[in-house]
Structure 1
Amino acid sequence: MKKVIFFMIDSLMPHVLDECIRKRLVPGLKFLIEKGVYWDQCTTVFPTMTATVDCSLITGEYADIHKIPALIWYNPEEKRLVNYINGMMPVLKLGMYTCAHDVICSLNESHLSKNVHTIYEDLEKAGKTSGSINLIAHRSSQKYPVKMPFLLKLGTMFRPFEDVSGPDVFTLGRVARSKLDPPLPWSWDETLIGHYGINDHFATRVLCHLIRHQILPDFTMVYLPDNDHKVHRKPKEACQILKKVDDKIQKVLNMFSSWEDAIQKHVFILTGDHGQTLIGQAKDHNIDLDDHLKGLKIADYAGPVKESDDLVIANNERMTNIYPLKPHVDTEIIYRLQQDPRIDLIAYKSDQWVEVRSGGKQESLRFCPEGSSVDIYGRSWTLEGNPAILDLEISGSVTGEKVSFGDYPDVLSRLYGALFSQSCPIISCTAKPGYDFKSAYSPTHLGGGSHGSLHYIDSTVPLIIAGAGQDSPFENPRLVDLKGYILDLLTKTKHGF
């Protein structure tokens, strides 16, 4: 059986990877593509934000099942916003301890549904070992203490954190980690300059340490965040940024006697969690939600929500969830949003249905699971209204309608999953390419890169599998399907590993 090494490269984009290959900037990724199987259109999850994507990746489910709605979302039971660390001003407003506790502890221990199994939990039941290097979604059976560096202790006012769960090998930078034998030597990448270990250098250093000392688990997932952070600020330098990521991939491949030896001994899987869209530089490329909803009482960002509040805004960059708190407020919100042609899609629940509208247009579409229309993934739906709103192509046959996707890949399952991730009313809106949402304290990206929407630019990532043969295991790959594939590799003998 070959061990599996999985790289999650934040904001890895197909067009950037293809350009880098043409310019011969990424020999490591090029080698894995040539020796394996490559898809330039793998569909991610909605919203296209790391928290929801990572939870779908490790559970094999969309958000209606695993219950992590977004990177930023409203918790109606606690009447407050949850922010898994996005933007300095929002974090300071909500409180550093609250946000740190949510992402380090609550996400895995209480927010992620107990009704789903993570890949780490399933592998443990199968008698296999696993590792998570710096991913925020890592729930498993073992517990590890949280040990905050001094400055983070100061920022969180020395308040305690409970132990967090994780697999056999586990790191969240310096904050929490399993013991390694031999221990990992200290390096600069664990300091404040290196975001206390949440960086590409630390992650690959840990992986190389595991390989060098032959203590690599059967499955290891490695998160590389630097690409995302840099492309947000300098999208026009995306190729040079990805080249630095490839340098890290090469360091891992160089741990073996040859690169060929690496893929003979291991299966390498590389993908991204979402893409990024270039945002225009002019101010009107920020869609100001506070302005659109003027006159309605918007809950204060730091909460708690009051009885007098009409709505809560949970801004996720190119996607925003708006939570109406009073009867009939939703109708007014939807009407106002629909007047803005910069808003791409406006979606909300109506009993078991999802209703979808588009900014600047009057047409609508609604859909629900089960029916005579079957999409390319074999899931059936009932559709009513104008399918062009979601760029759906409907073709008839003697056995029923066939649904294929255009600008919004796997949009029915992804949008349904996001809206039904919570039982409370939600109005989910996305921005057209080139635009970003703006609201109180939210980070904006004029002239930079942003993501979050259903559009294929945000929603399509590369997928590379090397070392598992060159037969394609997927016709239409999705990140949500990778968990089952990996479990097959590691627990079934039919692959001959």
Structure 2
Amino acid sequence: MMMGFRSIFIVFLSILLIGCSAYKNNEDQNNPMAIQMNNKTSPKIVLLIIDSLMDEPLKKVIEEKKAPALDFFVKHGQYNKYLVSSYPTMSVTIDSSLITGTYPDKHKIPGLVWYDGDEKRTINYGNGLFEMMKIGVTQFAEDSLYQFNNVDLSPNVETIHEVLDKRGKQTASINSIIYRGNYEHTLKIPKVLAKTTALPNTYKTFGPKRLSVGAFIRQDEKNIHLLNRLGLNDAFAAQELKYLLEKNILPEFTIMYFPVNDHEVHRKGPKTTEGIEELDKNLQEILNVFPNWESALENIIWIIIGDSKQSSVKKNKNEALIDLREALSNYNILKLNEPVRNNDELVITANERMAYIYKISEDFSLQDIANRLLADERIAWIAWKENNMIQVKSWDKDGVFQFKPEGAFKDAYNQTWSIKGNSSILDLTIKNNNQIKYGDYPDGLARLYGALHSQKGEFLIVDAKPGYEFIGESSPEHTGGGAHGSMYKNDSLTPIIVTGTNKSIDNLRIVDLKKWILDLLE
């Protein structure tokens, strides 16, 4: 049945809202030795990203025998629940760190929403229907379908697809939101949208040898899973991988993204298992391509990860939602659908449980803004750059914490730092030998440094306590459900399952997976 244009248009907008046991476990998140297997290394790797996969609901569905495919991978591999995400814990930044092996100070994707001081406009890759409508569908499509991969992702970093192509190895990307590679592809806009909006018929983009992005480009022309979010769904992704397997054209490295669990967790909260159960059905279909499930392990290394966790958001809107416009109402704040005016002073870009606040006037200081926000006890801390150091302040802890790279203090990832002041603001423990131990904010120094050096201009980062979420103009909100974005451990630690390799990964962080995978494929 043909849907009306209005329905298709809303679907088009909403599908692009990217964002959003009995097993052997390593329970110590400060122990970087994580993945070791005794099996023979396989010549091919499939990396499956399950958006917002979390340890507790995963174990629950396995124990209740509702996820036989994931149970199979866990029993035949090694499992760890302490894979550290990037920051902000939003998919665009995380996936950029995953395929470049860098934090945002290098790859330059600051978050799902951020302000470009050079272009003097807010960049929004998909943060809520109402924000999209205000920005305009044409600009939104330009940013999310073209600019993200081809302009904003720094040319000074190499993606895993680009590196492997130079080494003579083919790669594939299936529904991953960040995929830059060396091959030009054409993304085709559905005709009904191209004819009834200002969207062009096609976008040129660069990706790996084999690229699938829902209805915009696919490998299997008979893939029928296009109606639900125009193919940006789990069933479409599974069918694309099945096609590569059945045609015996699976490349040396494939990355595939499953988004549906994230939508369920946002709506129903971190304890929901419905998204994982549905995802598992698609994994079963993939495994059923093989003569038996065990044979799937013979020639392929399977790596299954989440990209981040989500935290519960309180049900009471007045309590849960931190409206930054109200807190900063004495400033002139740039509106989403208006150009910058001479009297505009601030820009607010809320990324769920964290936010960037940009100072675009010389009439006051970042400290002035921070002092106003520190009155809100729902904010965990505020950070900014000043005097070549990062400054961090908190409502409920005295003083200020300052740090910068290189110095006498070393963390579990062999990163060295100069630090001053109250380190408890970021829940750091400093041992007698100047060893830094992370608490509530895993790899907090490098992740915060990366976010604060991800872009030009003067700006603050604000990070929420558990249970709370930031909102700005037309921001989505998730009261009674789940949200991420913050650097807190409840948003930052996600599971990883690995089968088929005896090569350990030294540091259990998403930012380290690229190097590990490249080493596996040597």
TM class, shorter-length: over 0.9
Could you say which residue in structure 2 is the equivalent of 1:69?
A: 110
| CA–CA distance in structure 2, aligned partners of residues 256 and 329 of structure 1 | 62
2:463 is the alignment partner of 1:427:
no
- What displacement does 1:304 show? 1.9
- Among 265, 271, 283, the residue aligned to 1:249: 283
Runs of 5+ in structure 2 lacking a partner? 1-41
**1:317-396 alignment to 2 at 5 Å?**
317-327=352-362, 328-396=364-432
* Number of aligned residue pairs: 479
1:100 is paired with a residue whose SS is helix
Could you say which residue in structure 1 is the equivalent of 2:497?
A: 464
Could you say which residue in structure 1 is the equivalent of 2:58?
A: 17
Q: 1:352 to 1:160 in 2, by over 3 A?
A: farther
- What displacement does 1:236 show? 6.3
- Paired residue type of 1:294: S
- Among 89, 92, 107, the residue aligned to 1:48: 89
Could you say which residue in structure 1 is the equivalent of 2:308?
A: 274
- Among 318, 321, 324, the residue aligned to 1:286: 321
- Paired residue type of 2:221: L
| CA–CA distance in structure 1, aligned partners of residues 201 and 385 of structure 2 | 39
> What are the Cα deviations for residues 309-358 of structure 1, in whole angstroms up to 9, with x where unaligned?
11000110101000011232422210011111100121111143111111
Could you say which residue in structure 1 is the equivalent of 2:330?
A: 295
Contact 2:188 2:201 in 1 (8 A): no
Q: Percent identity?
A: 40
- What displacement does 1:14 show? 1.5
| CA–CA distance in structure 1, aligned partners of residues 66 and 174 of structure 2 | 26
- Paired residue type of 1:185: K
- Among 237, 246, 251, the residue aligned to 1:217: 251
| CA–CA distance in structure 1, aligned partners of residues 413 and 477 of structure 2 | 35
- Among 310, 314, 329, the residue aligned to 2:345: 310
Could you say which residue in structure 2 is the equivalent of 1:494?
A: none
Could you say which residue in structure 2 is the equivalent of 1:445?
A: 478
> What are the Cα deviations for residues 364-387 of structure 1, in whole angstroms up to 9, with x where unaligned?
101000000000000000010111
| CA–CA distance in structure 2, aligned partners of residues 302 and 431 of structure 1 | 26
1:163 is paired with a residue whose SS is strand
- Paired residue type of 2:354: M
Contact 1:184 1:206 in 2 (8 A): no
Contact 1:105 1:161 in 2 (8 A): no
2:369 is paired with a residue whose SS is helix
- What displacement does 1:247 show? 1.4
Q: 1:38 to 1:88 in 2, by over 3 A?
A: same
Q: 1:156 to 1:463 in 2, by over 3 A?
A: farther
2:75 is the alignment partner of 1:34:
yes
- Paired residue type of 1:450: A
- What displacement does 1:423 show? 2.4
2:454 is the alignment partner of 1:418:
no
Q: 1:155 to 1:314 in 2, by over 3 A?
A: farther
- Paired residue type of 2:455: Q
Q: Which moved more, 1:223-232 or 1:328-337?
A: 328-337
- Paired residue type of 2:425: I
Contact 1:311 1:325 in 2 (8 A): yes
- What displacement does 1:251 show? 1.4
Contact 2:182 2:207 in 1 (8 A): yes
CA RMSD of aligned residues (A): 1.4
1:304 is paired with a residue whose SS is coil
| CA–CA distance in structure 1, aligned partners of residues 119 and 339 of structure 2 | 8
- What displacement does 1:440 show? 1.1
Contact 1:81 1:302 in 2 (8 A): no
Contact 2:223 2:239 in 1 (8 A): no
2:309 is paired with a residue whose SS is coil
Contact 1:199 1:225 in 2 (8 A): yes
Contact 1:104 1:136 in 2 (8 A): no
Contact 1:81 1:303 in 2 (8 A): no
1:355 is paired with a residue whose SS is strand
Could you say which residue in structure 1 is the equivalent of 2:176?
A: 135
- What displacement does 1:237 show? 6.1
- What displacement does 1:8 show? 0.7
2:521 is the alignment partner of 1:486:
no
| CA–CA distance in structure 1, aligned partners of residues 203 and 291 of structure 2 | 42
Contact 1:120 1:138 in 2 (8 A): yes
| CA–CA distance in structure 1, aligned partners of residues 105 and 197 of structure 2 | 32
Contact 1:79 1:303 in 2 (8 A): no
| CA–CA distance in structure 2, aligned partners of residues 250 and 173 of structure 1 | 21
Could you say which residue in structure 1 is the equivalent of 2:199?
A: 158
- What displacement does 1:156 show? 4.0
| CA–CA distance in structure 2, aligned partners of residues 329 and 155 of structure 1 | 46
Contact 1:184 1:209 in 2 (8 A): no
- What displacement does 1:241 show? 2.1
2:140 is the alignment partner of 1:105:
no
> What are the Cα deviations for residues 263-290 of structure 1, in whole angstroms up to 9, with x where unaligned?
1110000101111111001121101111
- Paired residue type of 2:514: K
| CA–CA distance in structure 1, aligned partners of residues 221 and 437 of structure 2 | 49
2:247 is the alignment partner of 1:197:
no
- Paired residue type of 1:306: R
